Structure 1
Amino acid sequence: METWKDEVLEQSFVNTDLIEKLISAENIPSDEEFNKVMEKAEKGKDTLSLEEVAVLLNSPQKERIERIFETAKEIKERVYGHRVVLFAPLYLGNKCMNLCTYCGFKATNTEIDRLTLDLDQIDGEVNTLIDQGHKRLILVYGTHPDYTAEYIAKTVEKTYSVKGEHGEIRRVNINAAPMSVEDFKKIKDSGIGTYQIFQETYHEPTYSHVHPQGEKANFKWRLFGLDRAMKAGIDDVGIGALFGLYNWKFEVLGLMSHVLHLEENYGVGPHTISFPRLTEATGIVRHEDYTVKDDELKRIIAILRLAVPYTGLILTARESAKMRKECMDLGVSQIDAGTQIELQGYTKNEKEQDLAKEQFTIGDSRSLLEVMQDLMENGFVPSFCTACYRLGRTGEHFMEFSKPGFIHNFCSPNAYLTLAEYLEDYAEEETKETGYNLIKQEIKTAPLDERVKKDVIEKLEKIKNGERDLYF
């Protein structure tokens, strides 16, 4: 019997009736209620409750939205500074047994080319990514018997083993189907960073409708997947919802239900939250229209930043470059860059997407360098930092450092150092000048201890003289 068919005895922590009541059109918060929630949110210290987040969701007034946006910007800068963490997704296999109606990889889609990378092909892809300047990857797998815990562990170990001219990949996260506790232990031993899984939709009737067959049809097996990961010792996990399958306000409160469940049961919430919007793919089935508009996506990002101030928010390349730029300072802390989602896409380096080979349509096809230049020109510090993972600052330990504000003396300095590495190893003179001017300005104005500032300057000189992988 497949493990995923085992009965999940836990009761769902998503209270559908409560959420529907909270987002009801009749539930209009007063000025007093709104101000009370905002006063708590502005402190940027604690996770908001479902009821408090609902107050923000049910506040469409222009002046309220503007206040939410301004507060989100302030919290983002206070907690994360100007840094934005960069990574790349690497698809290793697109075989799939599921029938997700919205996905190009679903089992019945005969238009898609199926492929699973072997270790030599992974070597080529990782080498190409290293040559571009990447240090952080997320490996992505379909749901198929070929993608066992053993296969995943081998691919993670292979990714870490590849050495390029300018170093190696320092952190490998994964996005894979939920597993048993024993299988999660196997992939933990391979040295993964964050384990990421998206519930897609937290509305169970819609979930059943869009997942009619396959492992993914089991709502609670997926819902409690991160519980099993936590029990296996993986304390860095990422959640997400695919916006466009159901009411976006419901999905925000579904995500918050997941956050609160993890905090209550394991002492730490998710390390990241993702909020991709549904985009075109081959062979998809259109259902009721729950399209999320641009202004609604901005509200989602800002409200999540207020609701979970210390959780990373990931804005993916599904969005256009223009949209990502508009959303960046509302609370986004991580983005992918130079993204290819075709199997062996990095070595092929195709300029145009071929949806017969890819899961969905991407909106931002810029190279890593182009994304970095745009970020730096707008005052953001691109970061490839992986120090927290390697020093054990994960899970509860990460919160111990981040909540009191100590993170400025770790993450921001590490961002400057990893940016300097990129500038030395990959950048042309004009880009180097832009980058170092930004670093100089950051050191001057960022809230760093004087001792840390001095140490940063010393480490920057070492990097210019050829030393690498220096961090706090």
Structure 2
Amino acid sequence: MITTNRFSTLVFSEQFNHPLIQKTVSQSLLVSKDAVEQCIRKSTFSSQDLPYLLSPHAESSLEILAKKSLALTRQRFGNTMQLFIPMYLSNECFNTCTYCGFSLEYKYKRKTLTKAEIKHEASLLAKKGFKHILLLTGESPKHVSTPYLKEAISIITPYFSSIGIEVQPLEQSDYQTLIQAGADKLTLYQETYHKESYLKYHTYGLKRNFNNRLDAVEKGAKAGFYNINIGSLLGLYDWRYEAFAMAEHLDYLTKKYWKAKYSISFPRIQEMIGTFHEPYPISDKHLTQLIIAFRLAYPDLGITLSTREPKSLRDNLAPLGITTMSAESSTSPAGYSAGNYEEQFQTNDNRSLDSIISMLKSKNLDPVIKDWDMSLMPN
């Protein structure tokens, strides 16, 4: 992994080391069984152990590693599981992305919520019991501008204790505006950290700028976001490459912007979009290995599991390192008030909030709807 000086003036894209990541993947594939067994006997781990934890030979030790992951998660996070709900403000998008249901190439009627519709959706979700919300959009600066996002956040602030955003990459000043409006968490996925593949999937629009997306999270950190969530869309490239790239990004951020809390997500492409089908599918077993490895290597890292995954897998993974789960997710604008607009992708766990809470309690986990951490932060 890269060595980062917190006082360095270089941004992440200027330090991103593709050859080193490729080399680390190759080394991980060649790790011996003896080396893995020696590694898993350790009582504590770091990112330097990821090549061992993500190696093929580590697969046969997943049960042992899962027990370590479960114990470490309970030690660091107690029995809590934070729950949130996503709310889509718009499916307008000016990008052509071959894997996405919002891609510009799909000629359907687009929708951006009005102020009244935003308030209506927010009130419905608040009545369900949610206090932690994630606002999402397509990437259309014309329709979903910073002033629009600021107003949307202001409208829903009375309903929720924590508001996250997952929108197009913005400038530091824009992020500061949204923080002042009430946003406290930034989610931004690189999609794939493999630049050649990135350019193949993103054929038109501002999103085609690989480095701009790579550096946007850092702009959010500079702006003052307290919670930052990164990730890759698994299936676009080799999962081990994505894992080591995410680790490099995480190491950079935690060393340079150490005051923030970081989390990571591992969303998988689960269905065919148009003619697109994931070229690098990742199995349930490898996803489990990935989650366990990051929990052990980063003890205080938040790990999010979305409703992209089927309910049986979510139930099994919940105790093994997950700290945050979504529930009752809709991926289209006005999706909670019987709106009939195109969705970004299909979800695979459609259980109600009450059902998710019951499942978690059956596993001796305590569902948390309010982000108490944020209530302790100074204004």
8 Å Cα contact 1:13/1:258 also seen in 2: no
- 1:377 aligned onto 2:362: yes
Tell me if 1:361 matches 2:354. no
**Structure 2 CA distance for aligned equivalents of residues 27 and 275 of structure 1:** 21
Higher strand share: 2
| Equivalent position of 2:15 in the other structure | 13
The correspondence for 1:211, drawn from 189, 196, 202, is 202
- Deviation string 1:103-145 (CA, Å, 9 cap, x unpaired) is 00011111x4310001100111111111111111000011112
- Which position in structure 2 is the counterpart of 1:459? none
Could you tell me how far 1:9 is from its partner in structure 2? Answer: 7.3
Structure 2 residue identity aligned to 1:311:
L
From 111, 123, 128, the counterpart of 2:124: 128
Contact kept in structure 1, 2:82 and 2:371, CA below 8 Å: no
| Residues 161-240 of structure 1 mapped to structure 2, 5 A cutoff | 161=158, 168-240=159-231
Match of 2:153 in 1: 156
| C-alpha displacement of 1:61 | 4.6
In the alignment, what sits opposite 2:4? none
1:115 aligns with 2:111: yes
Structure 1 unaligned regions, length at least 5: 1-7, 162-167, 395-472
Q: Shift in Å at residue 269 of structure 1? A: 6.3
Give the deviation of 1:208 after TM superposition.
0.9
Check conservation: 2:221, 2:260, Cα contact below 8 A. no
Shift of 1:79: 1.0
Pairing partner for 1:321 from 303, 311, 315: 311
The alignment status of 1:245 with 2:244, answered yes or no, reads no
CA 1:346–1:389: 2 relative to 1, 3 Å:
same
For 1:10 and 1:271, the matched residues in 2 are separated by 16
SS at match of 2:309: coil
**Letter of the structure 2 residue corresponding to residue 21 of structure 1:** K
CA contact under 8 A between 2:179 and 2:224: conserved in structure 1? Answer: yes
Query: What is the RMSD of the two structures over their aligned residues, measured on CA atoms?
Result: 2.2
Which residue, out of 284, 297, 312, partners 2:302?
A: 312
Q: 2:255 aligns with which of 264, 275, 280?
A: 264
Q: 1:213 to 1:272 in 2, by over 3 A?
A: same
The one-letter code sitting in structure 1 at the alignment partner of 2:152 is T
Match of 1:48 in 2: 47
Q: Letter of the aligned partner of 1:255 in structure 2?
A: M
Q: Calculate the TM-score normalised by the size of structure 1.
A: 0.74
Q: CA deviation at 1:70?
A: 1.6
Q: Could you tell me whether the CA contact under 8 Å between 1:76 and 1:330 is conserved in 2?
A: yes
CA distance, structure 1, for counterparts of residue 191 and residue 23 of structure 2? 21
Name the CA shift for 1:16/1:393 in 2 (closer, same or farther; >3 Å): farther
Map of 1:464 onto structure 2: none
Checking the alignment, whether the CA contact within 8 Å between 2:319 and 2:363 is kept in structure 1 is no
Name 1:142's counterpart in structure 2: 138
Residue 270 of structure 1: how far off its partner (Å):
5.2
Q: CA deviation at 1:342?
A: 2.3
Judge conservation of contact 1:13–1:257 (CA < 8 Å) in 2: no
SS in 1 for 2:84: strand
1:102 aligned partner = 99
Q: Secondary structure at the match of 1:85?
A: strand
- Number of the residue aligned with 2:3: none
The 3-state SS of whatever aligns with 2:312 is helix
Q: State TM-score, norm by structure 2.
A: 0.91
Q: Which has the higher contact order (CA 8 A, sep 6+)?
A: 2
**Comparing 336-345 and 31-40, the one that deviates more:** 31-40
In our comparison, the structure showing a higher alpha carbon Rg is 1
**Matched residue type, 1:378:** K
Give the match's secondary structure for 2:61. helix
Q: Which amino acid aligns with 1:120?
A: A
Q: Deviations over 1:382-429 (max 9, x none)?
A: 1113221122289xxxxxxxxxxxxxxxxxxxxxxxxxxxxxxxxxxx
C-alpha distance in 2, partners of 1:388/1:68?
29
* Displaced runs of 4 or more, over 6 A: none
Looking at structure 2, the residues matched to 239 and 17 of structure 1 have their Cα atoms a distance apart, in angstroms, of: 21
| Equivalent residue runs for 1:328-339 within 5 Å | 328-339=318-329
Shift of 1:151: 1.0
- Paired residue for 2:330? 340
Per-residue deviation at 1:228?
Answer: 0.9
Q: Distance in 2 between matches of 1:303 and 1:9?
A: 27
Distance 1:36 1:269, change over 3 A: farther
Aligned mates of 2:172, 2:257 — CA distance in 1: 15
Rounded to whole Å, the distance in 1 between the matches of 2:83 and 2:143 is: 29
2:243 match: secondary structure: helix
Structure 2 residue matching 1:341: 3-state secondary structure: coil
Tell me if structure 1 keeps the 8 A contact 2:31–2:52. yes
**Do the aligned partners of 1:97 and 1:214 also contact (CA within 8 Å) in 2?**
yes
Percent of matched pairs sharing the same residue: 28
Q: Does 1:280 align with 2:271?
A: yes
Structure 2 segments unaligned to the other structure (5+ residues): 1-9
Change (3 A) 1:268 1:55: farther
Q: 1:59 to 1:343 in 2, by over 3 A?
A: same
Matched residue SS, 1:197: strand
Q: Compared with structure 1, are the counterparts of its residues 270 and 15 closer, same or farther at alpha carbon in structure 2 (3 Å cutoff)?
A: farther
Does structure 1 retain, via aligned residues, the 8 Å contact 2:304–2:323?
yes
